[in-house]
């Protein structure tokens, strides 16, 4: 049996067909970006939960193991990881609230979906920064 697409190339039809949108020319809607970020932050929360389990196991194991984990999490890399984990937690939580609102049939219009998506991004950044400011202020006096 002959390939049906083989003759299209000979007649020039394949050259006149439109190309599929490519990532370099396709503008992603904010709602699609938020869907991808929601999945990525969900995966990041698994890694953050492993960090939490590592911290708890070290606390239960020995003072030296706990001191090492505390040192790592207090290092610039550790603080960056914890900051990212905090943002992932806030972003995923606000995305869940957005989906919960949608479950009741509210905010499904195109303008509302975009507004909720931007509110999710802005809200996650703002709450992350506020949590870290409060945490740093609370623990700065503990030293």
Cβ(94)–Cβ(120) below 8 Å: yes
Distance CA 50, CA 7 (A): 56
> Counting Cβ atoms within 10 Å, is residue 72 exposed (0-12), middle (13-18) or buried (19+)?
middle
DSSP-H helix ranges across the chain = 6-11, 13-16, 30-61, 63-74, 76-103, 110-140
92 among annotated binding-site residues? yes
Radius of gyration of the chain, Cα coordinates, nearest whole angstrom: 24
Which residue numbers belong to the known binding site for heme?
92
Which residue numbers belong to the known binding site?
92
């Amino acid at each position: 049996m002959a390939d049906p697409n083989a003759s299209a190339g000979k007649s020039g039809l394949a050259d006149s067909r439109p190309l599929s949108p490519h990532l370099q020319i396709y503008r992603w809607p904010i709602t699609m970006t938020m869907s991808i970020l929601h999945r990525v932050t969900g995966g990041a929360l698994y890694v953050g939960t492993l960090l939490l389990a590592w911290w708890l196991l070290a606390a239960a194991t020995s003072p030296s193991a706990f001191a090492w984990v505390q040192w790592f999490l207090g290092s610039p890399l550790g603080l960056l990881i914890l900051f990212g984990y905090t943002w992932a937690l806030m972003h995923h939580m606000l995305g869940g609230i957005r989906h919960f609102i949608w479950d009741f049939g509210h905010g499904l219009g195109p303008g509302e979906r975009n507004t909720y998506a931007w509110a999710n991004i802005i809200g996650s950044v703002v709450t992350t920064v506020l949590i870290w400011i409060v945490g740093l202020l609370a623990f700065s006096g503990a030293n």
